[in-house]
A and B are shown apart, each in its own frame.
Chain A
Amino acid sequence: MNDHAAAVITHEGLGGLIAGLRAEGFRVIGPRLRDQAIVYDDIESVADLPAGWTDEQEGGHYRVRRREDAALFGYNVGPHAWKRFLHPPLLRLWRAERSADGMTVTATSEPAERYAFLAVRSCELHAIAIQDRVFLQGPYVDPHYKARREGAFIVAVNCGQAGGTCFCTSMNTGPKAEEGFDLSLTELLGDRHEFLVEVGSERGAALLAAVPHRPAERQDAAQAANAVARAEGNMGRHMRSDDVRELLLANLEHPRWDDVAERCLTCGNCTMVCPTCFCTAVEDENDLAGNAAERKRRWDSCFTMDFSYIHGGSVRSSGRSRYRQWMTHKLANWVDQFGTSGCVGCGRCITWCPVGIDITEEVRAIRGEGGSDGRA
């Protein structure tokens, strides 16, 4: 990918990276402990990172826990995805006002700030790449996504452990970050708490050069490879993915859809937390006097009735048809539409489904492999 050798930095170097990004005018977003969860929010210094915290994840279950060490990145993906920033949940598109000679329409200007994302996991890099395809690489480019995505600086982190609902190895999306970052870190925990840094771009190299670092030695690389191997070895979930498109499309009337409908709340949480789901609804509003109007865009979900509403009613009124729409789009039709699966195996839809509906379990059931019913 490039000729830059790997380096090793300490907390001081990491602090330097954050400060350097801020000095260059980036708004640095990274992991923080808030409301007993590890969320993505503004980061000013290393002190903001969730040192010594991890998370425990299962279907419909999330708890933060203390670690025995002071790892900064010793957790797995949480309730937020980077799409919160690249594809905001709520966006005013334009505002119109009556004027003496008719109407003035003002489009919302795109933010001038550039993002730097700190601690992006490999599955998340893949999710961003998928949204890039959806928003940037088709015939219709989304200008709002483009403005936020272009110039965004990405610092990846390789996972040193997998979460209880992770299955990136099944989807070939991790746990090692291979591309799509400016810098990539691997946390080296031991007597010396350090970070192996790999360089993914020229601006990444320039940033690294400006902070204290030492060249990586063989044992550093070996320790980093061990950490990634550990994550690879303890995936909480697995899903056979090579034939899943054909499997689902051949089973559109499988009785399992009724079974999942009995559990599914049609709450929409799975789509909201999924880092690749991109659907939005557009709403128009006006003031009481009818002198000003606004058009807003907000995240929508294929689990709502409005989503498939056409004249006369909703096309997908049953929970069965909505769950089936979601899962077959994600794992099958997405492939035809965008040339890639819509799932990166991050496990968020499993953890944040209030009743723990597990996409890997549902695939197994349709495959006829039984197992638990995933009930909460």
Chain B
Amino acid sequence: MRKPKLAVWKFASCDGCQLSLLDCEDELLAVAGAVEIAYFPEATRGVVRGPYDVSLVEGSVTTPHDAERLHTVRRQSRTLITIGACATAGGIQALRNFKDVREFTQAVYARPDFIDTLATSTPIKAHVNVDFELHGCPINKHQLLEVLAAFLNARKPNTPSHSVCVECKLRGTACVLVRGIPCLGPVTHAGCGAICPAYNRGCYGCFGPMETPNAPSLSRKLAACGMGERDLQRVYSTFNVGELPFREEAARHGS
């Protein structure tokens, strides 16, 4: 039987999510055994031509060229899975969506007229059909392996979309928010295993909004923990600011 062909594509991103695949260390051989790594420039120069059975797509669309390229990726991919906050929500670079990008290019580049960039950073789903979205900034490698194992064996991946709080409770962490430390866990999508609260820090919301977030209620609690209006605006304006529940909550706060 022919091994399924895997491709890994990069758009506007930091490469951290693709690195999660290389970071699989112990499981890397199993991955290489289960699929043919056909296109993965971060790992190998060898290129096997498409079409591909599974494409992992990292990054958001920020240039007209990328918007075009994404369609060619979609055409060559039987299954297209986005990995990470950039690909699923637009990433931290989606902060540009609320400002004038021309002003930025003029401030940063000596010859802004050479810069061909879009006014917005948008997720992959805004351009092409997406089969599955894996959240996280960066993604969790165990979840990546779970998603690959699920797709290769034609079953639904176990990547629950409830709050991070459930993961905190499974691991037995005493809630930091109830102990006075601001935490975004109640409005954040599970998947990281609730790492930060286990180290006495609040959740930063890396995995984006959970299935039914109630950010206004959480914000009242965060304010009671001492966060000011400006802090509240910022805390929702990070890697997943492109997701509506966070964007709207950020907009409700400010100076």
Contacts and interface: CB of A to CB of B under 8 A. Distances in A.
Nearest to A39: B174
B221 A60 contact: yes
Interface stretch (A144-152, A334-342, A349-357): A349-357
Interface string A334-376: 0000000000000000011011100000000000000000011
Interface string A139-182: 00000000000000000000000000000000000000000000
Contact of B30 (A60, A84, A89, A288): A288
Interface in B190-228: 200, 211-214, 217-218, 220-221, 224
A306 B160 CA distance: 8
Interface stretch (A107-115, A201-209, A262-270): A262-270
A80 B171 CA distance: 11
Interface in A280-330: 283-290, 298-299, 301, 303-306, 317, 319
Given A305-B211, A375-B220, A376-B224, A273 B169 contact: yes
B179 to A, nearest CB: 6
A317 B161 CA distance: 13
A79 interface: yes
B152 interface: yes
Nearest to B177: A354
Contacts of B35: 288
A354 B148 contact: no
Interface in B22-49: 27, 30-31, 33-35
Given A264-B217, A289-B33, A354 B178 contact: yes
B187 interface: yes
A269 B35 CA distance: 39
A264 B174 contact: no
B145 interface: yes
Chain B interface size, under 10 / 10 to 19 / 20 to 34 / 35 or more: 35 or more
A354 B212 contact: no
Contacts of A269: 165, 169, 175, 186
Contacts of B200: 35
B146 interface: yes
B174 A35 contact: yes
Contacts of A289: 30, 33-34
B211 A352 contact: no
Interface in A233-280: 262-269, 272-273
Interface in B5-37: 27, 30-31, 33-35
Contacts of B30: 287-289
A61 interface: yes
Contact of A287 (B149, B173, B175): B149
A264 B212 CA distance: 10
A304 B166 contact: yes
A290 B170 contact: no
A89 B175 contact: no
B203 to A, nearest CB: 11
Contacts of B146: 285
Contacts of A375: 220
Nearest to B223: A376
A11 interface: no
A265 B172 contact: no
A82 interface: no
Nearest to A298: B170
A267 B185 contact: yes
Contact of A272 (B33, B169, B217): B169
Nearest to A322: B212
Contacts of B112: none
A305 B161 contact: yes
Nearest to B156: A284
A78 interface: yes
Contacts of B145: 288
B218 A355 contact: yes
Interface string B152-166: 110100101111011
Nearest to A272: B169
A298 B107 CA distance: 52
A37, A63, A288, A355: residue with the most chain B Cβ atoms closer than 10 Å:
A288
B158 A285 contact: yes
B50 interface: no
Contacts of B166: 267-268, 272, 299, 301, 304
A61 B224 CA distance: 11
B28 to A, nearest CB: 11
Interface in A125-145: none
Contacts of B185: 267
13 contacts: A62-B175, A62-B178, A90-B170, A262-B217, A267-B163, A269-B169, A283-B158, A286-B149, A286-B150, A286-B155, A287-B30, A288-B31, A355-B218
Interface of A: 34-37, 39, 60-63, 78-80, 84, 89-90, 262-269, 272-273, 283-290, 298-299, 301, 303-306, 317, 319, 351-352, 354-356, 375-376
Given A63-B179, A272-B165, A285-B149, 20 more contacts: A36-B174, A36-B179, A60-B221, A61-B178, A62-B178, A79-B175, A89-B169, A89-B170, A89-B172, A265-B163, A266-B212, A268-B169, A285-B146, A288-B31, A290-B152, A290-B153, A305-B211, A306-B161, A354-B178, A354-B218
Interface of B: 27, 30-31, 33-35, 145-146, 148-150, 152-153, 155, 158, 160-163, 165-166, 169-175, 177-180, 183, 185-187, 200, 211-214, 217-218, 220-221, 224
User: 7 tightest A-B contacts by CB?
Assistant: A37-B174, A272-B169, A288-B34, A267-B186, A265-B186, A304-B162, A267-B165
